[in-house]
A and B are shown apart, each in its own frame.
Chain A
Amino acid sequence: MEPDDFDAMDDFERELRDAMQRRTAPAGLKKKILLRRAEGPKRRFQGPWIFQWEPATAVLAAMILVVVAAAAGFGEIFLMHQTQERRRGEEAKQQVFVALRITHHALEQMNAQLEERNRNSK
């Protein structure tokens, strides 16, 4: 066979083709195939779809479910924690505002008293 000449076969290739005739399949092959084919559905568990999976697939699916559930759980905890922190922050801010208002009120009173004292001394 010359490069790119795949149509013409030389003597060696012809002999090779003759030597490589298909072999006869073993006598019982068809019977074994049909037997395994008939056994196939019986071997499978006829339960809910998830139990018909191969064990490895079922284990993998279970692992994925566990990971997803754990991620969802952690997410929930994280969100709750964030909400609590925000609420505490709001409460602290309100307390600071109240303290500022009280301070402001006290300063105004002191200022008023000082002004009154100044007026009296004059």
Chain B
Amino acid sequence: MASDDGKPNFEQLVDEHQSMVFSLAVRMTGDRGLAEEIAQDVFLALDKNLRKIESPLHARNWLRRVTMSRAADALRRRRVRGIDLWVEIDEAHVAQGERRSSPLGARVERLLATLPEAQRSALILRYQEDLTPEEIAATLDAPLATVKSHLQRGLKLLRAKAAIQLKEYVRGA
């Protein structure tokens, strides 16, 4: 993972984290094309800042933080331009050989899309990345209490929506 000087190697970082970066971006924006652009920009920014990256863990946290920030910026730009925020994810456009998300996964993503952005960010980091509230707070640069509140409210809202729309999948809703 690390090069001779102990610093992470760029291509290896792309290999290892492209799935994480792309997944965060696509779940935040709901637009595969935009998510791919964000992922490219994030990795190019990583390349520029590679000298400051001290370890593989630092690289992963940096990528999470910058991806969430870039995705939020992209959503803000779209809002300003008056473009519909969430583009329906067209599963037919998923390239061959690419793992398709499960039917439940696709429906969960659609439900997530209906949540407020702050709640969505917190839930994505919690359940996709398996982060603790403290780690989410550090990633989003937000107070811990705020993150906990977003998690609780987001989960409650998602649970209520899932109870209506995902009855056949969800046992605990």
Contact = CB atoms under 8 A, between A and B. Distances in A.
Nearest to A2: B152
Interface string A1-45: 101101000111111111111111111011011101100100000
B140 interface: no
A29 B95 CA distance: 12
Interface residues of A, number: 30
A3 B149 CA distance: 9
Given A29-B39, A37-B47, A15 B18 contact: no
Contacts of A22: 19-20, 23, 128
A118 B36 CA distance: 117
Contacts of A16: 108, 123, 127, 158
Interface residues of B, number: 48
Contact of B172 (A11, A24, A26, A40): A11
A30 to B, nearest CB: 5
Contact of A26 (B15, B22, B132, B159): B22
Contacts of A33: 14, 18, 39-40, 43-44
B7 interface: no
Nearest to A11: B172
A15 B104 contact: yes
Nearest to A28: B95
- Report the 5 A-B pairs with minimum CB-CB distance, sorted nearest first: A11-B172, A12-B172, A25-B18, A25-B22, A24-B99
28 contacts: A1-B155, A3-B152, A6-B132, A10-B172, A11-B171, A13-B127, A13-B155, A15-B104, A15-B172, A16-B123, A16-B127, A19-B102, A19-B104, A20-B105, A20-B108, A20-B109, A23-B26, A24-B98, A26-B22, A26-B98, A27-B95, A29-B36, A29-B40, A30-B18, A32-B36, A36-B40, A37-B43, A40-B47
Interface of A: 1, 3-4, 6, 10-27, 29-30, 32-34, 36-37, 40
